[in-house]
Amino acid sequence: MPKVKTNSSAKKRFKVTGTGEITFQKAFKRHILTKKSTKRKRAMRQKGVVGSTNKDFVLRLLRLKG
């Protein structure tokens, strides 16, 4: 039997915390930042947490148990 591979794009985008939450970096913080408000950019600094509706899907991409 061949080994089951982890989805390469998912392993770069998601991290699993010690408590089992899955975090990701917020989008839209790369360029064209002058037109975005300071409040908006500050909010994008925080880590995002994958919601309960998508958690099972992301765990499957990462080949982890639920």
pLDDT in tens, 41-52: 999 999 999 999
pLDDT in tens, 10-42: 999 999 999 999 999 999 999 999 999 999 999
| Rounded distance between C-alpha atoms, residue 26 and residue 45, angstroms | 7
Q: Do the beta carbons of residue 29 and residue 41 sit within 8 Å? A: yes
Query: pTM for the whole thing?
Result: 0.85
Domains, the chain, ranges and CATH? 8-61 (4.10.410.60)
The per-residue pLDDT for 66 is: 67
Q: Which residues of 2-23 are buried (b: 16+ CB within 10 A; e: fewer)?
A: eeeeeeeebeeebeeeeeeebe
| Rounded distance between C-alpha atoms, residue 66 and residue 64, angstroms | 6
The per-residue pLDDT for 28 is: 97
